[in-house]
Chain A
Amino acid sequence: MGLFRLKGFPGTGNFRHGIHPPDNKSLSAESKVEVMQTPETVVLPLLQHIGAQCKPVVKPRQIVRYGEVVGVGRAFISASLHSPVAGKVKKIGMVTLPNSMHLPAISIKTEGDQINPQRLWDEMTAMDWPRDCISIYAPETIAKIIHNSGIVGLGGAAFPTHVKVAPNDSRMIDTLLINGCECEPYLSCDDRLMREAPKAIVTGALLAGRAVAAKEIVICVENNKPEAILKLQQATEKTLIKIAVLKTKYPQGSEKQLVKSVLGLEIPLGGLPSDAGVAISNVATIASVARGVIKEGPLTHRVISVSGRGIKHPKNLFVPIGISMGEVIEYCGGITEDAARIISGGPMMGFAFSDMTTPVTKGTSGITVLTHDEISDEQETSCVRCGRCVDACPMNLVPTRLALAARYNNPSIAIRYHINACFECGCCTYVCPAKIKLVQLIRTGKKLVAAMAKS
């Protein structure tokens, strides 16, 4: 590394360490996005993003229209919630999400005339997205529309997008990176979106770039998605948007690693991309920005991929937020006999769940169903100090040392070895030949460190 340069960029298109798990994308990557019909009920948890919970603004038995605000995010770091259906509010109950949060959620029973979801998807994939009249939108207007549309990061973290684009005098954004890496195995929703709706992504990129006054806009794609790259190249012709083709490697899509790969910059520990003059947004988020600004439509639907060897017919689907995971899985033919684990998201950082009523939220990028063979939990043996975890850690930490510190209740060693730099990508656990649950121990260690800091 260091000898090679990514053409046209300061970075190398690569970062140190990381892993190459089998990507298994071919299971679903070739199936075109199908549009699911409106379900009978949707369940909308009041916290689908990072930040403050929404306040519900509807009551049981109240009639709501499509796109009507049902939950308002009053805090700055929050996002509003819009109804993806027309219908009647059933109740405000509780729901447990796969990420283990137990939250109030608004259930809405669909009634009356519905918006045709096929029309929403056709709009998204249309070729007539504007590119030239972007300047009629003032940056503040774009930020405001993003805020009002309830748009959050659709890559998985679900950070409210308006916070990233809000005018801020203290920080200057030079570069807007649009993250189309999709480095998690199995998932193909961003790949499909880039192939089928490249024009919407380009319009969204220009809008978001205008909102943050970025000098440069770069769409970042891993080199295992040649068709997406081709489509984006065609769609970005005669624009200033550049496309960075990066090495396929997990976790290429992680913010810090992506900034390093493309721009060669290292964001300090505890720092934000904006400290390096960078804003990062996922391709699906950017497409919903385009929809929010140009079509004045809030975030109510998203593309998810349903994949894995444990699902009968892997698919990519355009679904309303709030639809139950069970319905989505049924639509894909259900799970196979040897299905063993259902995951919200991908297998590296996703959350396993067993409740089929769990709703799809804004941050749900897909459902991965693994089989018994894939999850075989082998007996843990003692660490042989092989150093594979050290060579896999994208943060260049010593995972085995951190795990030992956690196991033997020693937060001071954990701090000395930078435990809080770990972002829990799971590379260390993936490669460990002794099958030690390293990242799980590190999570425990972080709690020990936090407890020590309090006392």
Chain B
Amino acid sequence: MIRTDLFVSVSPHIKQDVTVAKIMWTVVACLIPPLVLSMFVFGFQILYITLMSVGSCVATEAISEKLLSRPITVKDGSAVITGLLLAYVIPPGVPFWMPIPAAIMAIFVTKVLMGGLGFNIFNPALIGRAFLVATYPVAMTTAWLEPIRDASVFKYAGAGVDAISAATPLYVLKHYGMSAFMEKFGSMSAIYTDFFIGLRPGCIGETSALLLLIGGIFLIWKKYITWHIPISLILSVGVLTWIFGGETLFTGNPLVAVLSGGVMLGAFFMATDYVTSPTQKTGKLIFGAGIGALTVLIRLKGGYPEGICYAILLMNSLTPALDQWFRPKRFSEGAKI
């Protein structure tokens, strides 16, 4: 009496309703609110840059996988995330075609050639940005826009890079000091409010600490990411800036350091990339703290006003070692009974 209509398999017979694609698309959803806000802060033209970035990332992945006779994996949403993140770390005043070479670098060289999703060593979007900084340094370091405060969302559309140039908070801080910074951005409380909401010059998707925080906390609540990397990263940037960032020791402003540049975007959405970060908690804490330390080092002593992109890339290369060094302690390891 054998029933042939049944499916026999080995345990476990049930699985959680979570797939890689579901996680990736949730991350995409969490990245949308900062984009919408940016459209009103930097003008609607940033939408074209973003769509160009996402489109070229997805196309690069599909075409390169087709050419290499691999299964097409664009449905899993990871190329969309790379496209969004790539756009988010580009200044809002760059020409529309700018993301295309970066997307090829990010998806084809950094991801597909390494073996596809799960095998890349470096964060693809950040390699894309690093590539742009090396190849188009002028646009990547000067195409900043002043936030629009009068809802004229087409103000910057069609304007050339040269016509519009603002300075980022970190640039002003680095080259002109705290008094010039206060002069440009207003009183401390106004700075905190504006920076927290996202009303400051910066890359397309990095300015709104509030919306990035909401997205990040949602991902932590869904248990798609853990708190270890974001918290250790933000704490390390804050504490190290407080110690070393001022005229004398212990006079730096940690809040400004955390709210400017790409710290929030990096902490919640870049450094927490599964593939390029450690899988274990101790490793994650060191990874996040290391990124924070390198960021502060580059900001204070390096040639660039912001360093989180290179800090994450440098720590990415340490991920395999961190996983080796900090293995979880097995249950009852060292138990004395």
Contacts and interface: CB of A to CB of B under 8 A. Distances in A.
Interface centre among B7, B13, B76, B327 (most CB of A within 10 A): B13
A375 B7 contact: yes
Nearest to A329: B3
Interface stretch (B36-44, B91-99, B328-336): B328-336
Interface string A246-284: 000000000010001000011111010001100000000
B19 A341 contact: no
Given A341-B8, A352-B10, A266 B118 contact: no
Contact of B1 (A357, A377, A394, A421): A357
A424 to B, nearest CB: 8
Interface in B8-30: 8-16, 18-20, 22-23
B67 interface: no
Given A390-B280, A417-B327, A418-B330, A275 B11 contact: no
Majority secondary structure, A binding face = loop
A391 B224 CA distance: 11
Given A352-B9, A382-B116, A433-B22, A347 B330 contact: no
B333 to A, nearest CB: 8
B332 A390 contact: no
B25 to A, nearest CB: 12
Given A375-B7, A426-B11, A396 B329 contact: yes
A394 to B, nearest CB: 7
Contact-size category for B: 35 or more
B7 A349 contact: no
Given A265-B337, A342-B6, A440-B10, A384 B117 contact: yes
B16 A390 contact: no
Nearest to A432: B15
A387 B4 contact: no
B275 interface: yes
A182 B249 CA distance: 59
A356 B214 CA distance: 53
B14 A269 contact: no
Interface in A400-455: 400, 417-418, 421, 424, 426, 429-435, 439-440, 443
Nearest to A372: B7
A275 B73 CA distance: 51
Contacts of A353: 8
B275 A385 contact: yes
Contacts of B116: 382
Contact-size category for A: 35 or more
Given A271-B337, A382-B117, A433-B18, A266 B9 contact: no
B154 interface: no
B304 interface: no
Contacts of B11: 343, 347-352, 424, 426, 439
B237 to A, nearest CB: 23
B311 to A, nearest CB: 20
Contacts of B274: 384-387
Given A271-B337, A382-B116, A426 B332 contact: no
A233 B20 CA distance: 45
Interface centre among B11, B16, B20, B224 (most CB of A within 10 A): B11
B142 interface: no
A67 interface: no
Contacts of A326: 1
Contacts of B337: 265-268, 271, 275-276
Interface string B200-221: 0000000000000000000000
A275 B335 CA distance: 11
Contacts of B134: none
A433 B18 CA distance: 5
A118 interface: no
Contacts of A241: none
Contacts of A357: 1
Contacts of B141: none
A373 B14 CA distance: 10
Nearest to A416: B327
A340 B332 contact: no
B2 interface: yes
B9 A267 contact: no
Contacts of A185: 14
B14 A384 contact: no
B119 interface: yes
B18 A382 contact: no
A70 interface: no
Nearest to A355: B2
Contacts of B3: 342, 354-356
A191 to B, nearest CB: 19
A340 B6 contact: yes
Given A265-B337, A266-B337, A267-B335, A354 B6 contact: yes
Contacts of A384: 20, 117-118, 274-275
Contacts of A443: 10
A381 B20 contact: yes
A213 interface: no
B10 A375 contact: no
A397 B330 contact: yes
B253 interface: no
Interface in A299-356: 326, 339-343, 347-356
A395 interface: yes
B330 A348 contact: no
B165 interface: no
Contacts of B223: 388
A169 interface: no
Interface string B117-132: 1110000000000000
A387 B331 contact: no
A374 interface: yes
A55 B25 CA distance: 60
B279 interface: yes
Interface centre among B1, B6, B14, B280 (most CB of A within 10 A): B14
Contact of B14 (A391, A424, A430): A430
A364 to B, nearest CB: 15
Contacts of A354: 2-4, 6, 8
**Among all A-B residue pairs, the 7 with the closest Cβ atoms:** A426-B12, A387-B279, A266-B332, A266-B335, A382-B118, A347-B13, A356-B1
Interface of B: 1-4, 6-16, 18-20, 22-23, 73, 76, 116-119, 223-224, 226, 274-275, 277-280, 327-333, 335, 337
Given A341-B8, A381-B19, 4 more contacts: A375-B14, A384-B20, A386-B20, A435-B19
